[in-house]
Structure 1
Amino acid sequence: MLVKNEIWGNIPLLHISTDNMNEKTPVVIFLHGFMSAKEHNLHYAYQLVNKGVRVLLPDAKWHGDRSEGFTETQMNLHFWEIVLNSIHEVEQLYNELKNKQLVAHDKIGVAGTSMGGIVTSGCLKLYDWIETAAICMGGPAFIKLGAYQLQQMAKNGVKFPMSEQEVQKTNELLAKYDISLTPERFAGRPVLFWHGERDKTVPFNDTYNFYCTLRTYYDDNPNNLKFIADKQAGHAVSRNGMLAATDWLAQHLA
């Protein structure tokens, strides 16, 4: 297994592959969570590469090698800016894959944990070239999740420096990326959700209720949509969840 530290455009990433991979090898772009970094998801890459999948692990804006030393509170205030930036950078990585002749047939999956799962949801709304996805602890409903985050901040005594008008403008922007508003954009593509029922960071019920709505769009391909609920888990993916996500991605890219 080869692990290369590379920079594609302005994006630092780990490129994980083997010597016998070529342009016909499927690819997964795997996105880390909030306040995490690319190398923290190497266990996902290890599983995927051993199943014959090339993996890209990028650092999100202000994370990992792109850190500018902001506190978690400062980062929280820019959470959605980071998410939207990552959504656009996934397209940049896709174009680089094409330019570097590392993918020939769009056998590409996108996946992530927490913030990475949220980014994955936004990517599914925008990009038809995504063949399969795994959303671990991610909330597809951006506007609803944003409102929940504001409630949690207020509960914790954090003053959010935005007026109601600014919040409304943000919601108008998020609507362009919020796939819960246009569930038909899933277009029957194979998607796995994994979520802990005790998750207080990204509420379990919001994601599960959306999944229940989404099932009606998968009547022709019910096996292409799966939700794994872990009764014991909070905001952390279990080993079984990690294995299920990597199995799903490899299976649907085969």
Structure 2
Amino acid sequence: MSHESDGTGAQRTGASGASGPGARKRGWTGSAHKGLRERRARGNEASRQRLRAGAVSLSGLYTLNTPSGDAHDRIADGLADHGWAVSPAFLTPAQASTLLAESVSARDRFHPAGVGRAGAHGVRSGTRSDSVCWLGDAHSGPGQAAYLAAMDGLRAYLNQSLYLGLLSYDAHFASYPVGAFYARHLDALHGPGARRTLSCVLYLNPDWTDADGGHLRLYLDGDRQEPFMDVRPEAGTLVTFLSERFEHEVLTSTRERSSVTGWFSGRT
């Protein structure tokens, strides 16, 4: 077995000879991968044409204190290249701290997280043991409003560059006490309703180390055990990945772990 760290707080692990760039692309080299890369190329060319025509102002796509166009561009490239992207410092420490403070102040509105949709939805402590509170309600603070605006900007950019057809974004705070976990699963939901297309996890934990645990483990080759990638839940890091493609789990930690988990959804 081999390990490789890429300097983003993510470490890829795979069988010998299958780690690093080769490992992250296993199971993601077929027509879906090619299609997303082709859409990325078309989106780049369309953006260049609109810029030449004066129809788009890059500065107009982003507002003060939201992630830069470069950050959005790197996310689009990562999704086109291998279906996931890890973005350290997507938010500044101050922005992540504001969200964490709002999460802590809302703890009286948290409830045990469930799994499933509609009539199949329920709390299953053997599958996940975190608590959640949805963003965007009447109690939302300025940090949540700014974050939701930033994610709407990302939605618009990904639709422009990858033609993903993302229509909406829903998110909640998640709190994992010491020892809590979320077993391996897919984010895609089956049945009536909007289709989850892209999963996004933003971490809010300052001064987090690998020894604290609580990593997101992203499985890179379908339902196989390897290769996988572990992402350290450091404050400000955003992880994005295709909801129907990558199984993942949350490992236990030795500290309370906080995040914002959300999904961009498209047409069914």
Shorter-chain-normalised TM-score: which range?
A: under 0.3
| Higher helix content, 1 or 2 | 1
Larger Rg belongs to:
2
| Higher strand content, 1 or 2 | 2
When normalised by structure 2's length, the TM-score is 0.24
When normalised by structure 1's length, the TM-score is 0.25
